[in-house]
Chain A
Amino acid sequence: MARLQDAARKQITEIVNRYKDEGTPLMMILSDIQKEYGYIPLEVQELVSSLTGIPVSEIYGVVTFYSFFSLTPKGKYVIGVCLGTACYVKGSQLVLDKFEELLKIKPGETSEDGLFTLDALRCVGACAIAPAVSINGKVFPMVQVGQVENIINEYRNKEAN
C-alpha cells in the first residue's frame, strides 16, 4: 500500500467518498477507478478495502469476475473486435485473427510498445453494422479483413505525428 503515490491515494479516497451514502458501492467505485486509471492493481484494492471495510479477497474476486475490470494497464488504444453472433456470422473472427497476426498479441494482451490492447468483445449492440470494431469507444462499421492494416496504421501514424 505504501507504494501508492499520495496523489493517487487522494484521488481514490475521493472516488470512494463519492459513494459514501451508498449501501453497496463497490461496483461503482471500481468502475470509476477503472475509468480513471485504466486498471485496478492490488495496492489500489487494498486502499479501497481499508476505506470501505470490504475484504480485499472480495474486491479481487469482483475485479477478476467482470471483464471490464483489469489488473494490468491497458494499451493507449483498446481495440475491441465484436464477436457477437451477428458479427461472427459475418466473419468477425477473421478480423480478430488479422489483428492478432498484425499486432502479434492475443485477445486480452497489450502490445509491447504499450500502444494497443486487443479485446474480443461480446456484442457491442452494433449488430446492424457487423462486423464492428471499436477503438477507444469509436465504432468502425462493417470492417473487412483487408481494412485491418489500414486501421492499425491510422493509429500508428497518429502516434508518429
Chain B
Amino acid sequence: MALVNIKIEGQAYQVESGLTILEAARKCGYNIPSLCAFNNGKCSRASCRVCLVEVKGARGLVASCVYPVAEGMEITISSQKATEARRASVELILSNHHKNCLQCEKNGHCELLEVSKLVGARDHMYEGEQTPSTLDTLAPGLIRDTSKCILCGRCIERCKEAQGISILGFENRGFKTIVSPVGNRSFATSPCIQCGQCVNVCPTGALMEHSEIDKVDAAMKAGKKVIVQTAPAVRAAIAEEFGERIGTPGTGKMVAALHRLGFYRVFDTNFAADLTIMEEAHELMMRIKNKGVLPQITSCSPGWINYLEYYYPEVIPHVSSCKSPHMMMGAIIKSYFAKTHEIDPNDIFVVSIMPCIAKKYERQREEMPNDVDAVLTTRELAKLIKRNGINWARLPEEEFDDDLLGEYSGAGVIFGVTGGVMEAALRTAYYWLTGKEHEKIAFESVRGLEGVKEASLDINGTVIKVAVTSGMSNAKKLLDDVKAGKSDYAFIEIMGCPGGCINGGGQPFVKPLFLPNEDDNILETYKAKRASVLYSEDERQVVRQSHNNKDIQKLYKEFLGEPGSEIAEELLHTTYNANREKFPDVK
C-alpha cells in the first residue's frame, strides 16, 4: 500500500493512502470523536457530523470519517472552529435525545455519553420539541426505544450486511425520521430473527436486549431452586465486561461468581452440547441410512431457526429436530436431574446464560414452553455480578458443579464458534460409522471465520461432503441450493450470527472507543480472539468427543436409553412452524 505524508496538528506522519482522516488520525494516536462511524473509523454516511475537522485548503469543515487522506494534507483537530462545531453537533443530537442516562440500561457503554464528555457538551443546549417516540417491548428478545435513537444508521447497515433481511430502515423524513421495522411495527410483528446484531452496534440505548435480570432475582427471592447453565461462548467474552482484554478466558471466575450469586447448581451447557451431538449425529446417520431428507441442517441457533421459518419454510424437513443445547439442558434438569434428586420440577427455575438474544425468544416458543425459565445474555450476567457487589478481579477460579450433568467434552466447548458443531458431530459420526476415533481430532477445514466453509470426510471409502456457514447473508446461497434440490452436502451447520455464538447478539460490546488498549484493527480480530479461547479449552480437555463423555453415557444408560429413543424424542426434539406470517395484522 502506498504511503502518503500528512500533518496532524502540525506533526508529520506517514500513513497508508486510502485511509479516511479518522482512521489515519486514530493510527497516529488522535481520537476524533465520532458517532455514526463504526469505531474503526469506517463510515459510509457522515451523517452525525461529529467528526468534523479542518483541512487546510478545503471549503469549510470536513467529515473525517469519509474524507480520504492525501499527500501533503494538513489536518487540524483542535482549532476553535472544529471543536465548537463538534460540540454543537453533539449538543443538537442531545437536544432530541431522551436523557435518562442514570437509569439507562446502556449506562457505561453509551457512546453518545462518552462523546458528549469528549466534546464538552453543555447542559440544556438547544432544548425543544422531541421527535415522537416509540418504545417497543413486545418482542421477547429485544427492545427498541426511538427516544434514544440518534439515526446513525449502523443497525440498518448491520442487519442488511450480516443477515440480508433489512428489518430496520429509515422511515419518514426530516425531524420525523425514525429507524424502525416497517411501519414502526414491533420486532415481534416483523420478520425479525431477533439475533441482536443491531444491538451490538447501537451506540446508545435505542436497541437493547429485553432484560430478564429482575425475573431471576424474583425467582431467587421466592425460594426456587435456581439452576444456572452457561453457554460455551459466554466464557470467551465475559472477562471483557470487567476490563480484561479480548480473548481472556473467563471460565473459572465466571463459575466462581455464579456460585457467589447463590445458584443452586452451576452447570455448563456444554454437557447438553454433547447431548445434542449424540442426538443430532444419530439423526444424521438415520437419514443417511434410511435415505431420508439430506442435507441435514443444524438447529442449535434460534436466530437461524427464526430465519428458516420466516424465509425458507420449504427447507424445514432438512433441519434437525434437535432442540438447541440449553433447551435440552433445561428439559433434562427438570426430568432426569429432578427425578434423581427427588425435587418437584415446579420448584426448579432454570436460567440460561447465553451469548444470544434469540434464545430469549426461543425459550418462549409454544413448542417447548417449560424447559428454561429465563435467559440472560453475557452482558446481563456481568450486570448481575456487578449489582451483587462481586469484585471480578478478586475472584478465584472455580469448577462447574459435578452433579450428574457435570462432565463435558472438548467437542461441546467449540459449539460456541462457527464450525464447532460440525467438528463435534464429525468426531462422533466418524467413530460410530467406523468404530474408531479419527486420528486427527481437529478438523481444521471447518475452522476459521470465512462466510462459507466446505469439507469432505472419507469414512470407510464413503465421502461425506459438509458445509459450514454463519450469518444469514452467507447462508442464503446454500439455502437456495437446498431449496432447489441442488445441494450435494450431507450435513450443513448454520449459525445465526456471523462467526457463530462468540459474536452473538448478547456478547459484550466491542467498541474501540471504550477499548483504548486494544489493537487498531480490533473490530476485525475480536472474533478470532474469542474463538481461540474455546479452541484452547477444547485442547485442554481430556475427553474430546461427545460420545466419550461419561455423564452422557450414564444419562443414556439410566434414563434415555438410546439416542432417538421415545423419551429422547419427547424431551430433546421439537418441531417448526412453516406458517409464520411476516407481517401479521396489528390491532
User: Taking beta carbons and an 8 Å cutoff, which residues of A are in contact with B?
Assistant: 42, 45-46, 55-58, 60-61, 64-65
Contacts and interface: CB of A to CB of B under 8 A. Distances in A.
Interface in B182-224: 182-183
B181 A57 contact: yes
B169 interface: yes
| Max chain B C-beta neighbours (<10 A), residue from A45, A55, A57, A61 | A57
Contact of A55 (B166, B172, B183, B583): B166
A42 B173 CA distance: 18
Given A42-B182, A42-B183, A57 B169 contact: yes
20 contacts: A42-B583, A45-B182, A46-B582, A55-B160, A55-B165, A55-B166, A55-B169, A56-B182, A56-B583, A57-B167, A57-B168, A57-B169, A58-B169, A60-B171, A60-B182, A61-B170, A64-B171, A64-B173, A65-B170, A65-B172
Nearest to B178: A64
A64 B372 CA distance: 41
Contacts of A58: 166, 169
Instruction: Across the A-B interface, give the 5 residue pairs with the lowest CB-CB distance, nearest first.
Output: A57-B169, A55-B166, A61-B169, A60-B182, A57-B166
A64 B172 contact: yes
Nearest to B185: A42
A64 B169 CA distance: 11
A11 B166 CA distance: 26
B583 A60 contact: no
Contacts of A57: 166-169, 181-182
Given A46-B583, A55-B160, A61 B183 contact: no
Given A42-B183, A57-B167, A58-B166, 12 more contacts: A42-B182, A45-B182, A46-B582, A46-B583, A55-B165, A57-B168, A57-B169, A58-B169, A60-B169, A61-B169, A64-B172, A65-B172
A46 B165 CA distance: 13
Interface in B138-172: 160, 165-172
Nearest to B164: A55
Interface residues of B, number: 15
Contacts of A45: 182
Nearest to A55: B166
Contacts, number: 34
A57 B157 CA distance: 12
Contacts of A55: 160, 165-166, 169
| Max chain A C-beta neighbours (<10 A), residue from B160, B165, B166 | B166
Contacts of B166: 55-58
Contact of A60 (B160, B165, B183, B582): B183
A22 to B, nearest CB: 21
A26 to B, nearest CB: 13
A46 B183 CA distance: 12
Contact of B173 (A56, A60, A65): A65
A64 B172 CA distance: 5
A139 to B, nearest CB: 26
Nearest to A61: B169
A57 B165 CA distance: 9
A56 B182 CA distance: 7
Nearest to A45: B182
A59 to B, nearest CB: 8
Nearest to B171: A64
A149 to B, nearest CB: 33
A67 to B, nearest CB: 9
A65 to B, nearest CB: 5
B33 to A, nearest CB: 28
Interface string B101-129: 00000000000000000000000000000
Contacts of A65: 170, 172-173
Contacts of B582: 46
Nearest to A2: B581
A57 B160 CA distance: 10
A61 B171 contact: yes
A56 to B, nearest CB: 5
Contacts of B182: 42, 45, 56-57, 60
Interface string B421-448: 0000000000000000000000000000
B194 to A, nearest CB: 16
B508 to A, nearest CB: 28
Interface in B315-362: none
Nearest to B169: A57
A60 B177 CA distance: 12
Nearest to A41: B183
Contacts of B173: 64-65
Contacts of A46: 582-583
A74 B65 CA distance: 43
Interface in B552-587: 582-583
| Max chain B C-beta neighbours (<10 A), residue from A45, A55, A58 | A55
Contacts of B181: 57
